[in-house]
Amino acid sequence: MDSLTESEIAQIARQQREAGVQRLSGHFSWPEFCDERRCFHQEFVYDVAMFAAARGFPWPDVIRAAVVAKGLFPQLDDGLDAPKLLSLLRDVLSESLPNLTSVHRHEFTRFLTDACITRRRLLQAVVGGAANTSIAQLHLEVQLPPTPCPLAQGTDLHVWERQRHQTELTSMLLQKEEELKVLRQRSRVTLGEVDVPEDEQLDKEGVLALVRAAVRATEDQILASLTQEASLLSDILELKLQQAALTTGRLHKPSSTGHISSHPDAPTKEKPHSGKTKTGLRESGNAV
């Protein structure tokens, strides 16, 4: 430290950065760190000293600024938050650089604040030993969307919608046909709903009553089955008509009454004109 004279610091300020860091570091001992952090420590001291020299500090104050930076860097650890750091800077400047002018004090304080506050996390990571921490990087494969076809090779929007609608109609038609097939294959009548007494001997009236109940149950079952079958057949016919209309490009409108016209495009017959012609008038409107 005693070897760092005013002429020596002036010569260091005129050198290139790498040579200046090495020459300035030779005037100090560096027991604080023994790994790569020592290099960061030395560069930090050099940057602070060169800032003071560039701002026109007297050479003794430039040397004191280097001493301040050397003692400040090891204290920039995780336990030093922003308020504590500002308080530390204020105390260090008052103790080590009491003769600075107000302009130099303001510039030097702003420089250290920018260096230590705005980059506090970076400096804390360096001082804390993060420089020796290995970082495992994960390489994620990015899946890009498929390249769209040229417009000449694409599908028209109306064609695509028609195809989608056709697919939906086909799916619904297959479902209805399957329901109809299952309905026709299963038994339409079951006698499980008629209670037949096992231990009681029935007379003629009892047998007739039992038969009538069975017939009524059978009629209801057959009617319900036929009604369901008719509904499925109506749905199937409606879906096939929609498919045919979609294929030919003509719009099919389901009939609200359930009746489907065989000539949907037949023109409407106009009503004859019922207006009366006044007697005794010509076309010109004059009386005869």
> Is the per-residue pLDDT at 214 higher than 80?
no
Confidence of residue 265 (pLDDT cuts 50, 70, 90): very low
Mean pLDDT of 258-269: 44
Confidence of residue 284 (pLDDT cuts 50, 70, 90): very low
Confidence of residue 46 (pLDDT cuts 50, 70, 90): very high
What pLDDT is attached to residue 92? 84
User: What does the chain look like in DSSP terms, one character per residue?
Assistant: -TT--HHHHHHHHTS-HHHHHHHHHTTS---S-SSTHHHHHHHHHHHHHHHHHHTT--HHHHHHHHHHHHHHGGG-STT--HHHHHHHHHHHHHHH-TT--HHHHHHHHHHHHIIIIITHHHHHHHHTTGGG---PPP-PPP-PPPPPPPGGGS--HHHHHHHHHHHHHHHHHHHHHHHHHHHHHS-S--GGGS---SSSPP-HHHHHHHHHHHHHHHHHHHHHHHHHHHHHHHHHHHHHHHHHHHHHTPPP---TTS---S-TTPPPPPPPP-PPPPTTB-TTS-B-
Block residue for tokens 């039992």: 210
Higher-pLDDT residue of 274, 42: 42
- Residue 56: closest CA among 68, 67, 65, 43: 65
Confidence of residue 254 (pLDDT cuts 50, 70, 90): low
Poorest-confidence range of 84-98, 159-173, 259-273? 259-273
**C-alpha span between 214 and 195 (Å, rounded):** 9
What pLDDT is attached to residue 238? 92
Q: Is the pTM above the cut of 0.85?
A: no
* Amino acid at position 174, single letter: L
**C-alpha span between 218 and 224 (Å, rounded):** 10
Confidence of residue 287 (pLDDT cuts 50, 70, 90): very low
What pLDDT is attached to residue 147? 81
Confidence of residue 283 (pLDDT cuts 50, 70, 90): very low
**C-alpha span between 180 and 230 (Å, rounded):** 9
> Is the per-residue pLDDT at 153 higher than 60?
yes
Strand partners, 281: 287
Mean pLDDT of 197-223: 74
Higher-pLDDT residue of 229, 262: 229
- For the stretch 12-29, pLDDT in tens is 889 998 998 999 988 888
Mean pLDDT of 205-213: 76
> Is the per-residue pLDDT at 79 higher than 60?
no
